[in-house]
Every structure is written in C-alpha cells, then in structure tokens.
C-alpha cells in the first residue's frame, strides 16, 4: 500500500505536444495538490527546462509530434544526466504506442500510464514510485558516488528481508556486477531470476554476461532466443549482431541489423552500424541505403556528423560514382559550415574520388590539404585515419600512409574492431598482406611495452613500471588501455611506497581522460575505486 | 537451453480462426447502444441545465451514470483493440514481480467512481505482502471486465480477493447477484462461445481468458474459472495466474 506524498512540495514537468493534453494534465496534478508545474511542448524545450533545474516528477507523453519521441528524450536526458536517480519519470502513452513503450526495456521509464487515466490512479502510481525511490535511495547514492562494492553490500542487506523489490534488487546487483566486470556473479544472478520466471531483461542479461566472458557463440544463441520471444526488444538485435561479428560472421551480423532496421527505421546508430557492416561485406547497395537513411533521418538534427557523409562518399567512390561522392562532401561542408572536421573529411574523400577518376593532380592537391588539416587537429582523429592512409598508399606515398596507420593502431592496440576496419581498408586497395603486417607490428610494439611494464612491476620495480607507462602515455595519449595501466601502476606504487602528490595528480588526470573518452569503461570504474582506497589509506578524503 | 513453449503462438492460432469483422460488427452494435444511452443522459442533463432547475442530487446521479457508461465504452474498445493486437502479434507481455495489493488498490480506485451510478459497494482483501509475477494491464483488463459484469448483476456488494491456490495466484471477483446463467457457466470465455449475432457477444469473457493465457510459467499457463455461489451467493469469476 502506498503512503501519501505532499504534492505541494514537488516540482512537476509535463511534456506533451498537445496544448489540450498539457492543460488536462495540469488540472489533474492540481487536483492532487501540485502547484509547481512547468510545461514543455517538445523534446528540445524539455531538455532546456531540465538543464535549468531538477524536477521531482516528470510526466512525458510518448508521442511528441515530429521530433524526438518520449523514449529518445528519456535516453538523451539519462545520458546527459539531466535526471537524478531520485526523480520520477513517468511515460504517458496512448493505446497505439503502448507496445513501443513496453518494449523499450533497457532504459525504461520508472513507470508508464495508458491514456485515459484518472487522477486517483496517477496519485497511487506516484506514491508507490516515491516509496520505491526512497527504498532504493541508499543504493542510488552509493552508485552516484561510484562506490559499487558498498552498493552491492546494501543490496544484500535489503535482500535479507523478503520484500516486493526482491527482483529489482537482484537485477541491480547483476547490473553492478556487469559494471565491475564480475560477469560470473552477474550471470548467476540473471539465472536466479530466470529460475523464478522467464523475463526478457533477465534472459538478455544472461546473454550479455556470456558475451562479456567472450563466450560469443552461446551468447548469440541466447540473444537469438530473446529476439524470437520478444521481437520488439531492439537492443537484442544489436547484441546479436555484435556476437556474430565477434565470431567473425559479419554476414549474419548484417542480417540481424537488417531485421532490426526494418522494425525500427529511425534508429540512426543502428543504421550507421548496418552501413559499416554491409560495407565490410562489400554489399555496397545496402551500405548506400543505410548511409543515405542516416543522413535523411538525421537531417536538421545534431545527430549526424561529417563522418556520416564520408561514409556515404566512400561507398560512391567504391561504386565508381565519383561525381556523387564529390557532391556528398560538398553538401557536408555546407551542412557543417566548413568546420575543421568537415574540411578534413572533405579533403580526404575528395582526394580519393579524384584518384578514382584518374585526376591524380587534383587528388594530390586534396591529400596535401587533408594532411595539413589532419596534423592541425588535436583530437584523436578516429576513422578518418584509414581514409587518409588509403589516399596516401594509392597515391604512392607509402611512408606517410604507413605512419598514419601505425599511430592509429598504436592508439587502439587491443581494439579488434578497429584492426578489422584497417585490414578491410588494405584488402580493398589490394594490400592485404602488407596491411596485416603493419597492423600486427604496430600493436605488438604497444603490447611489448605494456608487458615489459608488467614484468617490471612483478619483479618489484614499481617505480620503473610507472616511469615506462607514463612515458608511453605521452606517446599514445588516445590509448585508453595504456592510460589506465599507467594510472594503475601509479596507484600500486603509492600503495606500497606512500603518497606522492605529483603522481597522484597524474593518476587523477589519467582517470579523467578515460572518463571523458569512455565513461562506462570497467577498468576505469575499478581504478576510481582503487584511487579512493589508496587516498583513504593515507588519510586523504576524496 | 530452450525457452518454454510459446503460449502466444497457441493463442494466436486460435485468434487467427476468429472472424473479427463479424465479431467487431456485433460489438460495434453493442457500443452504439451504449453511446445512445450516454447521449440520452447528456440530453437530459443539458435540458435540465438550460431550465436552470436545482438539480444538485439528480445531476450527480446522471453524471455518475455518464461516467459509468463512458468507462464501459472505453473498456470495451480497449478489449477490441487488444484482441486485434494479440491477433496481429507478437504482443509484448510485461511480466514483473509486483505486490498484488497495489493492483487491487488500483482496480478498486478505478471502480469507485462507477459505483455512484448504482448502490453497490466494493471491497478488496489481499494477504499483506503478497507479491506475484504478472502483467499489470492484462490482469487489470480481465478483472475490470469481471467488475463490469458484476456491476450489472450485483444486488449491493462486490468483493475482490486474492489468494494463492495450488501454486497459482487466484484473483476472485464475487457478487451477490443471481449468478452466471447456465450457458455462460458451461462455455463462457471460450472461442466457441463468441456470439456474432445476439446482443451479448461474450467478447469480454473471451478477452479475459486470453489475458489469462498470455501468462505462462514453464509448463503452466493462466486460465479463468466461472462459478456460482461463493461467499456472497452470486457470480464468482476467478483469474488463475501461474
């Protein structure tokens, strides 16, 4: 049973594209006693409101007119951390959107209500949610502070007394286990839920834990089961594709992505991945369709990047449609107002296009520009490296091309996917063997260096290990593995030898770098924990 | 590793054999009659208002009746839409572990405004702390249908109860009316019982039975049971969930 809430104290945000519905919700909230009620007519307005202040209760309609739908808005504000754990996000849906709301299992709203509903039911639901939030608040607080171990302990305490949140608690423990890389425990917890009841998210969690233990074949089988039992569970298709990719079956991966895109055509990330996979499979028609759809659906939104245009241009170049390739990048330059990033992508793709038409002079001129932009940009340039390298190799400048690939691989020495993209690029320009050699050698350099540091640490030379890895960081700043290992070495050193202010600052900076590049990185989470432990060991409060 | 047999497929097969056009036509007829009642009540209310008569008590009764019939139309439409969607499949069943008391509390809260139209009371009783795995909307749909039937027939009381019986959650709706007629007791809720020509289509009970069967746990699946007698001597509708 629920306990009353004082709605007068709560702040509400109502998000609905219909003024009539907004007014009606305002009336309903008023009858419950709510007075602090703000309104938003679409996703952008809602995000703006949420940037300015935190709301206790958000009522959001699933259908928000033309732009983002309620689920996309929820995902955006969760990603941007615009909602606190303690806030209530209630999705309101019409009958016809119900299936989509229920199927959005991964980043689910706290609850949903089907229109029409009475004020009384809204009150009951909100009261129960508030109660649930209060129950979980100690766990949320610890998770916000990234103190996951403690959070698990609190869950265990709460599980000692039988209660209605039993399944939620097990799920939360499993999710924390996944975050911390304890996949064996997570798998056991998901199996515990499945022993009670067949629930899609638990089956999904089980499959993810198998995937994370590199058990890709079995994972694919279980993801496949999820898609069969719950065909609208879109995330299952993405993971199914990932599992097939991991086993090297890119054709099956493409198939899974195509099924998913057919069901949910507006998901740009998935379309993009489909394009990339189809391109790798030399299925240029599907790749073109996918990349064109990304640009079409992403038009007038902040969801596309110059890279999306480059992807399409690359397909046109491979098809021999160089005019179209050039025109795509022309559009891109206009769309991104000649930003440094688009100029870089544009010059590279234009160079490749001219080279294909046989206009070597123009190709060389564009490549020269591209290389200048490339050296000027301070960000980790990502995929553009491979296009530049391709242009260099094709125009005969092997030295420069090789150097760029080497840097790229050294910064991603253990990223199998990136290695495959690089191999693929070499295959497409007929340098498969040479490419493999470059990739292998480059990643070996970093692996050797890393191993050397590990050996030094094992032999007791912790300082030597720290110095070596810090040197490596200055060389491969974009390599999160090396950056994290350096932080790890510093922490291990300080654990033994005492606090060192200068080193601790470096470790802190390294962790911040990774947090910026890859906030969900597991090792980062574990090291943040360790950092706190070491600081506490020497009496520092973090 | 295998998943349990697909209950939705069995239900889908059965639904596939139903002539929805004929069934919905019959149902639309029913809805039209209800709408006629609503419009009638509205007309009366409008004319009372324009006469400026002091209609406090009476208006309240009429508004309650409007609410009652409006809700009935809404629920019947939802049943049609849901059956259509189950048939089109696959329908996402949202099974979660929830307190049964919350469900009963919500159903009673939704039913309360309807009671004013009749002089009937409703009460619910659940073992404290009882939790179960179920889809809230499907279960609420089935139980609401039973409450509507009970509101039609009850003398003065409706009782809602939840217990565990043989590893099933049994949600029971009892009333003190004359009970289910013999043909409903024998056949109610089955696909064969659907009647496309009369004015009682049997769609509500069939919908409830489908909602029950969409709940499965391993080999077991949900069902409905109809009986007479019970604690109040009238109709007894039971939804069993595995």
Q: Is B60 on the interface with A (CB under 8 A)?
A: no
| Interchain pair A162, B105: CB under 8 A | no
* Nearest-by-CA chain B residue for A124: B106
Residue A396 buriedness (CB in 10 A; 0-12 / 13-18 / 19+): exposed
- Write the ipTM: 0.86
Name the average pLDDT for chain A: 90
Pick from B94, B109, B216: which is nearest to A124 by CB? B109
Residues 6+ apart with CB under 8 A from B223: B209, B212, B213, B240
Contacts of A197 in chain B (CB under 8 A): 95, 97, 133, 217
Token couple for B147: 């409450």
DSSP secondary structure string for all residues of A397-426: -HHHHHHHHHHHHHHTTT-HHHHHHHHHHH
In which band, very low, low, confident or very high, does the pLDDT at B194 lie, cut at 50, 70 and 90? confident
DSSP string computed for A12-69: EEEE-S-HHHHHHHHHHHHHHT--EEEEESSHHHHHHHHHH---SEEEEES--TTS--
Q: Where are the domains of chain B?
A: 1-242
- pLDDT for residue B7: 65
Compute the nearest-CA separation of A303 from chain B (Å).
29
Look at A226 and B47; give whichever has higher pLDDT: A226
Strands (E), A344-456: none
Candidates A71, A102, A126: best to mutate against B (most CBs of B within 10 A) is A102
Say what the pTM is. Answer: 0.84
Element (H, E) at B238: strand B234-241
With CB atoms and an 8 Å threshold, state whether B91 touches A166.
no
Span A44-70, average pLDDT: 89
Alpha-carbon distances of B99 from A8, A167, B174, rounded to whole Å: 27, 12, 21
Give the start-to-end residue ranges of the domains of chain A: 7-133, 305-459, 461-537
Sheet containing B168-175, strands listed edge to edge, beginning at the edge strand earlier in sequence: B121-126, B157-165, B168-175, B234-241, B223-229
Q: Does B5 touch chain A (CB under 8 A)?
A: no
Residue pair B11/B138 in contact by the 8 Å Cβ criterion:
no
Q: Minimum mean pLDDT among A299-303, B1-5, B24-28, B128-132: which range?
A: B1-5
Cβ A419 vs Cβ A396: under 8 Å = no
B72-81 average pLDDT score: 91
**CB of A1 less than 8 A from some CB of B:** yes
Residue B98: pLDDT band with limits 50, 70, 90? very high
Nearest to B92 among A102, A118, A120 (CB): A102
pLDDT at residue number A145: 80
Predicted local confidence at residue A489, as pLDDT: 94
Q: Tell me the two tokens of residue A489.
A: 């070495």
- Residue B98 sits at the chain A interface (C-beta within 8 Å): yes
- A221 in B contact zone (CB under 8 Å): yes
Say whether domain A305-459 belongs to CATH 1.25.40.
yes
Q: What is the pLDDT of residue B80?
A: 92
Q: pLDDT tens-digit profile of B29-47?
A: 889 999 999 999 899 888 8
Helix axis angle for A416-428 and A398-411, nearest 10°, is: 160
Look at residue B6 and tell me whether its pLDDT is greater than 70: no
Which residue in chain B is spatially nearest to A96 when comparing CA positions? B81
Q: What is the DSSP letter of A160?
A: T
**Beta carbons within 10 angstroms of residue A151's beta carbon:** 23
Reply yes or no on whether the pLDDT at B102 is more than 50: yes
Q: Residue B2's pLDDT is what?
A: 45
Instruction: Answer whether B112 touches A (CB < 8 Å).
Output: yes
Name the pLDDT band for A301 (thresholds 50, 70, 90): low
- How many CB pairs below 8 Å do chains A and B form together? 71
pLDDT at A300 over 70: no
3-state secondary structure of A151: helix
Q: Identify any residues that bridge with A11 across adjacent strands, giving them in sequence order.
A: A36
Closest-CA distance of chain B to residue A175, Å: 17
Q: Note the pLDDT tens digit of each residue in A450-503.
A: 999 999 998 989 999 999 999 999 888 888 899 999 999 999 999 999 999 999
Q: What is the DSSP string of A205-234?
A: HHHHHHHHTT-HHHHHHHHHHHHHH-TT-H
Surface of A (147-206) touching B: CB under 8 A: 162-164, 166-168, 196-199, 203
B97 to chain A nearest CA, in Å?
7
What percent of chain A clears pLDDT 70, i.e. is strictly above it?
97
Per CATH, is B1-242 categorized as 3.30.565.10? yes
CB contact under 8 A, B110 and A102: no
Q: Is it true that domain A7-133 has CATH number 3.40.190.10?
A: no
Q: Out of A318-332, A380-394, B127-141, pick the least confident.
A: A380-394
Tokens read off for A321: 């449609």
- B200-215 mean pLDDT: 91
- The pLDDT of residue A3 is above 90: no
């Amino acid at each position: 049973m629920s306990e009353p809430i004082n709605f007068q104290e709560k702040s509400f945000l109502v998000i609905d594209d219909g003024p009539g519905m907004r007014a009606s919700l305002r009336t309903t909230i008023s009858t419950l006693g709510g007075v602090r009620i703000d309104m938003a007519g679409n996703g952008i307005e809602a995000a703006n409101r949420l940037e300015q202040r935190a709301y206790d209760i958000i009522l959001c309609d699933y259908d928000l007119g033309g732009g983002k739908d309620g689920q996309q808005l929820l995902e955006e504000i969760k990603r941007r951390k615009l909602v606190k754990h303690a806030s209530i996000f209630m999705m309101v849906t019409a009958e016809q959107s119900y299936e989509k709301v229920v199927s959005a299992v991964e980043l689910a709203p706290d609850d949903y209500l089907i229109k029409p509903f009475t004020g009384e039911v809204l009150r009951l639901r909100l009261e129960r949610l508030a109660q649930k939030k209060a129950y979980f608040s100690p766990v949320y607080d610890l998770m916000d502070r990234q103190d996951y171990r403690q959070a698990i302990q609190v869950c265990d305490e709460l599980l000692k007394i039988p209660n209605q949140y039993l399944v939620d608690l097990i799920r939360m423990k499993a999710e924390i286990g996944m975050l911390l890389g304890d996949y064996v425990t997570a798998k056991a917890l998901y199996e515990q839920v499945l022993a009670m009841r067949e629930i899609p998210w638990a089956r999904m969690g089980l499959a993810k834990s198998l995937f994370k233990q590199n058990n890709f074949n079995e994972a694919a089988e279980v993801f496949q089961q999820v898609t069969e039992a719950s065909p609208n569970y879109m995330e299952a298709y993405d993971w199914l594709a990932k599992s097939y990719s991991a086993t090297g079956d890119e054709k099956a991966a493409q198939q899974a992505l195509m099924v998913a895109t057919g069901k949910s055509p507006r998901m740009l990330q998935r379309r993009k991945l489909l394009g990339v996979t189809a391109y790798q499979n030399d299925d240029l028609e599907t790749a073109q369709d996918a990349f064109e759809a990304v640009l079409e659906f992403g038009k007038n939104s902040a969801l596309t990047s110059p890279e999306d245009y480059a992807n399409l241009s690359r397909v046109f170049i491979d098809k021999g449609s160089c005019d179209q390739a050039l025109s795509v990048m022309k559009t891109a330059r206009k769309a991104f107002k000649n930003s440094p990033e688009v100029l870089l992508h544009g010059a590279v793709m234009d160079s490749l296009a001219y080279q294909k038409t046989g206009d070597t002079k123009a190709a060389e001129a564009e490549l020269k520009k591209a290389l200048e932009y490339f050296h000027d940009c301070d960000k980790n340039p990502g995929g553009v490296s491979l296009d530049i390298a391709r242009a260099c190799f094709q125009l005969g400048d092997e030295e420069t091309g090789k150097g760029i690939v080497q840097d790229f691989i050294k910064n991603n020495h253990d990223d199998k996917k990136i290695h495959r993209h690089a191999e693929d690029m070499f295959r497409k320009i007929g340098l498969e063997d040479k490419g493999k050699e470059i990739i292998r050698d480059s990643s070996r350099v970093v692996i050797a260096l890393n191993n050397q540091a590990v050996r030094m640490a094992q032999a007791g030379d912790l300082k030597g290990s720290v110095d070596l890895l810090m040197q490596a960081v200055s060389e491969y700043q974009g390599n999160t593995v090396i950056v994290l290992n350096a932080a790890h070495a510093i922490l291990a050193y300080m654990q033994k030898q005492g606090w060192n202010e200068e080193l601790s600052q470096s470790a802190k900076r390294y962790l911040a770098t990774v947090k910026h590049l890859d906030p969900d990185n597991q090792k980062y989470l574990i090291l943040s924990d360790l950092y706190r432990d070491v600081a506490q060991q020497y009496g520092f409060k973090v | 590793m295998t998943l349990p047999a697909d209950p939705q497929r069995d239900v889908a097969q059965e639904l596939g054999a139903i002539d929805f056009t004929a069934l919905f036509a019959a149902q639309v007829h029913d809805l039209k009659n209800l709408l006629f009642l609503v419009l009638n009540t509205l007309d009366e209310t409008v004319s009372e208002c324009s006469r400026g008569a002091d209609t406090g008590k009476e208006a309240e009764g009429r508004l309650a009746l409007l609410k009652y019939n409006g809700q009935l139309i809404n629920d019947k439409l939802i049943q049609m839409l849901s059956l259509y969607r189950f048939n089109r499949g696959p329908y996402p069943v949202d099974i979660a572990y929830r307190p049964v008391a919350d469900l009963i509390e919500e159903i009673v809260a939704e039913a309360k405004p309807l009671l004013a139209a009749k002089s009937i009371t409703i009460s619910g009783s659940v073992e404290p702390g009882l939790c179960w795995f179920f889809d809230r909307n499907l279960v609420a749909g089935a139980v609401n249908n039973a409450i509507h039937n009970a509101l039609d027939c009850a003398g003065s009381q409706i009782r809602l109860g939840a217990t565990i019986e043989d590893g099933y959650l049994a949600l029971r709706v009892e009333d003190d009316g004359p009970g289910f007629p013999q043909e409903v007791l024998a056949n109610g809720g089955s696909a064969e019982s659907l009647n496309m020509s009369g004015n009682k289509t049997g769609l509500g009970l069939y919908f409830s039975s489908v909602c029950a069967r969409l709940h499965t746990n391993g080999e077991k699946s949900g069902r409905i049971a109809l009986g007479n007698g019970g604690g109040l001597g009238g109709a007894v509708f039971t939804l069993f969930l595995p």
